[in-house]
Amino acid sequence: MFRALLTAVLWYLRPLMKWFLRKTTRLCELQRVCYGEKPGAPRILGVEKSLLQSRSGDIKNLIVFLDSISDGRKFTGANKDNVIQYSIYTVLRVKRINPQIHPQFSKSFAKCIEHIWGYRQLTQEVEALRTTPYDADNEDHESRLLNLWKLLMPSVQLESRVTKQWQEIGFQGDDPKTDFRGMGLLGLENLVYFAQEYPGPASHVLSHSHHPQYGYAFAVVGINLTSMAYHMLKDGSAKTHVYNVSRDLPSMKVFHQFYCYLFYEFDRFWIEAKPRNVMDFSYIREKFENRIRVSLANPASAFRINIAIDNI
pLDDT in tens, 58-72: 999 999 999 999 999
Q: Domain for residue 310, yes or no?
A: no
User: pTM higher than 0.75 for the full model?
Assistant: yes
Together in a domain, 176 and 108: no
Per-residue pLDDT band for 15 (boundaries 50, 70, 90) equals low
pLDDT at 227 exceeding the cut of 70: yes
Together in a domain, 93 and 217: no
Tell me the C-alpha distance between 312 and 294, whole Å: 27
Tell me the C-alpha distance between 66 and 61, whole Å: 9
Together in a domain, 158 and 282: yes
Q: Domain for residue 272, yes or no?
A: yes
pLDDT at 7 exceeding the cut of 60: no
Q: What is the mean pLDDT of residues 194-217?
A: 95
Q: According to the model, what pLDDT value does residue 17 have?
A: 47
Together in a domain, 291 and 188: yes
Together in a domain, 245 and 186: yes
CA within 13 Å, CB half, 84: 22
Q: What is the mean pLDDT of residues 21-32?
A: 70
Q: Domain for residue 4, yes or no?
A: no
Please give the tally of structural domains in the chain.
Answer: 2
Q: Domain for residue 115, yes or no?
A: yes
Instruction: Report in angstroms the alpha-carbon separations of 35 from 24, 83, 103, 117, 118.
Output: 15, 23, 12, 21, 22
| Cα dihedral across residues 59, 60, 62, 67: positive or negative | positive
Q: Give yes or no for a contact between 37 and 43, defined as CB atoms under 8 angstroms apart.
A: yes
Per-residue pLDDT band for 10 (boundaries 50, 70, 90) equals very low
Q: 107 lies in which domain range?
A: 14-121
Q: Domain for residue 69, yes or no?
A: yes
Degrees, nearest 5: CA angle 11-16-17: 80
Q: According to the model, what pLDDT value does residue 11 have?
A: 44
Together in a domain, 143 and 112: no
Q: Give yes or no for a contact between 66 and 83, defined as CB atoms under 8 angstroms apart.
A: yes
Together in a domain, 214 and 274: yes
By the 10 Å C-beta count (0-12 exposed, 13-18 middle, 19+ buried), 252 is classed as: middle
pLDDT at 105 exceeding the cut of 90: yes
